[in-house]
Structures are given as C-alpha cells and as structure tokens.
Amino acid sequence: MRSVNIGICGLGTVGAGVFNVLGRNSNSINSRANCEIGVTQVGARRDNPGCDTSGTDVSRDIFDVAKNPEIDIVVELIGGTTVALDLVMTALQHGKHVVTANKALIAAHGTEIFAEAESRNLIVAFEAAVAGGIPIIKALREGLSANRINWLAGIINGTTNFILSEMDSKGRDFADVLNEAQEKGYAEADPTFDVEGIDAAHKLVIMASLAFAMPLSLDGIFTDGITKLEPQDVSYARELGYAIKHLGIARQTPEGVELRVHPTLVPEKCLIAGVNDVSNAVMVNADAVGTTLFYGPGAGSEPTASSVIADIIDVARTMASSPDSWVPALGCASSALQEQKIMDIQDIETSFYIRFSALDQAGVLSNVTKIMGDAGISIEAIIQKEQPAGEEYVNVIILTNVTKEKFLDEAVTYIEQLETVRGSVNFIRVEHLDQ
C-alpha cells in the first residue's frame, strides 16, 4: 500500500484536532483512502498540550514543512492572509498539494492560489473553510452538480448565532451575551470579524462562487452585523411568529447575483429558525432537488478536523490519478467561470420589519401609511404596542410586503422627519426562504 505523508502547519485548536483524529482513527482513515496516511512533520511556534507530538518531527519554522521533500500534502491551519498566503504558495511551488481551513485566505486570494495549483497539477482543498464540520463545499461542488442552484442562505457564524439565541430565549442584551461568548471561547477578544459579519461574508463568497460558477471576489458584498439589534426587536419578532437570524444570502436573479450578510427575520416554521446556540446551517434551493438543509457544528477542534481530514483523504485518493479526472477547485473549469453583476443592496427586493416610537395620538399612523404608500410600499400588518405607563410615545411595528430597499430607505427618511416620531426608525429584512 502506498504512503502519503502529511505536514501540518499550525497546532492550535484545529491543528491539534487534526493531529489527534488522524492518530486515533488511522486504521479506518487508511482503509477509506486506500493508502497509509501519516503525519511526517508539524510546523508550530509552540507545543499544544492537547496533543502528544513526542514521536513526530516538529519545526518552529512552518516553511520547513512547505519545503520538506518528503511531504506530499501540506495542511495550512495558521489562519490570516499574509503569512498563510506565502506558506501556501511556497508549498505549491515545492510540489505539495494543499489542504486549508482558511476562509479569509480562499475568499481573498483563492483565484491566484488555484491558478498556481492548476499550473503545477496540484490540488487545493478547503472543505473546512466554511461551516466547520458540515460538508457544504463537497455538496455544492459535487453532490448538487446536476442542479441549477437558485439561492442559498446560511447561519455560517456560530458566535453570532449563540448571541442571537441567548437574546431570543432569555431576553438578554447584546453586550452581556457577547461577554459570555468571549468567556466561553466562542468569540475572540476583538469580536469584530464575527459580530460585524466579516467572517460570514468570506464564507458566503466561497459558497456563491461554487453555486453560481463565478470567480471569487469580495467586491460588492453587503455586510451588516448584529451590534445594533435590541432585545425588544428579538422579542417582537417572536411575537409575530419569526426568529431573528444572522444570515448570509446568495441568490441568482435575472438582474444579477445578490450577496448579502445581515440580521434577518425568518418564519418560525422555517427549519433554519430552529438552529440555535453555536450550530451552523445552510439551506440550498436548486431546480432539480428542491430545497435541502445542511446542519451541524460550525466550529470546534474535532468537528473542523473532520472536514480537514475528509479533504486529506480525498486528496490522497486522487493525487495518483490523472489531473484531467480531478474535480476543479470551484466545481468547474477555471475557463468556465463567468463574472456576474453583484446587485447593489438598494436594488434588492425583500420584505421588512420596521419599528419606531411615535406619539399616541390621532393621525400619526395615517401620516406614516401615506408616506409608505407614496413610496410604493404595500403594508402587510401594522401593530401599535401598548402604551407604557406615563409615556407619551408607543412602539409601532410595521411588516411590509416585498419592496426594493431604496423605496424603504426613502420612506424611512420621511418618517424620521415627522414631528410625531421620536428618534430613528429601525428596520430588519424579512426572508421567507420558500421559493
């Protein structure tokens, strides 16, 4: 039986998980790969007490691994987009196949990485870059390859899902839950990438490229985080039969491709509305199969290691065959990828949840509905909440039918100028995910 030698770069949470699972499940992994897979070298600046590398060559210089002539597959698990890019390109230039869990690297530099790999008849695999242990990359690239994909929508960041789940079930404030998420290790000391949607945007770009056969690019994607959400909006949404989820949405339309990450009201009956805590889920709607749901742990040491090792097995199986038979990195030949127009958020059509504070007096709501009517916005429901004791103002909730965002923005501007309305108008997009 042939041998395939692995070099792991990075021995953090995921790196340790990969090392441990490869050792623990070596017999079944080797039987599935039809070869003997072994870790020849580890590159890490420091040891991880969670794994025993005493019998393994460990280098403090990760580039030693990329240049080691004995290694067949380099596993990049260091993160970031600077040193990681240099490491991956060095590995390819030295004839190594690459497996990575680095979504930011693939989203920002995938095009040049894949071109380099293709020019050298090498494979770059990245299943763990999106949704941790959920095999969504393989599903989009291979399992659904007979389909025309219409849209996909996903909870693809566990930190934001944990925060929203706690705000929903316990009525807690954003800042309070964020602090707990940091204490539990769900969020970094600087949580910006998670709570502002940047992490989700990287993952969405990768999925959209696979779904719609378009080049990787972060240009044009709309990103909105969860920092401005208030517990009352989460509570009101639940009263109305919705849950608020932070979604990445990609949709193919005749006008172009929608690429957007933002808080979203989804009906309680929708399967994705019941995905809580740090779990991830991705819904995919396609012409032949209809709507499918992929659900599971979106992060963590061994769940992510599961996806990394699945890639290692795939590469180990494939590397001995002709490159003509390999599945391309983005599901189709690079020459078949086509640039597509990314729609401006102002031109995207969806329904909206709107909340504002208004004086509880005659004529106020009629003024608001006239403004919305003049903007061409149809109202599905309007609810005036009970007036708090001693308060002149009440919360007003409006659910709209589908409209373009630019019409909603126009109406909001006029509503905020009314003397009977206090403060800003808050709105959240609504998606029914049923077509």
| Residues marked as catalytic | 203
What are the C-alpha distances in Å from 151 to residues 201, 276, 337, 433? 15, 22, 18, 9
The DSSP 8-state label assigned to residue 241 in this structure reads T
The tokens 């293709």 sit on which residue? 118
Tell how far CA 81 is from the center of its chain. 17
Q: Where are the alpha helices (DSSP H) in 277-359?
A: 301-318
What b/e readout covers 15-30, taking b as 16+ CB neighbours within 10 angstroms? bbbbbbbbbeeeeebb
335-341 LR contacts (CB < 8 Å, sep 24+)? 336/213, 337/209, 337/213, 337/214, 337/215, 338/213, 338/214, 339/214, 339/215, 340/212, 340/214, 340/256, 340/257, 341/255, 341/256, 341/257
Task: Render 265-281 in DSSP notation, one character per residue.
Answer: EEETTSGGGG--TTEEE
Relative to beta strand 149-155, strand 242-253 is antiparallel
Nearest CA to 41 among 12, 21, 11?
Answer: 11
Tokens of 353: 């949840």
- Looking at the DSSP assignment, which residues form a beta bridge with residue 358? 394, 421
Tokens of 416: 């905020």
Residues 153, 204 contacting (CB under 8 angstroms): no
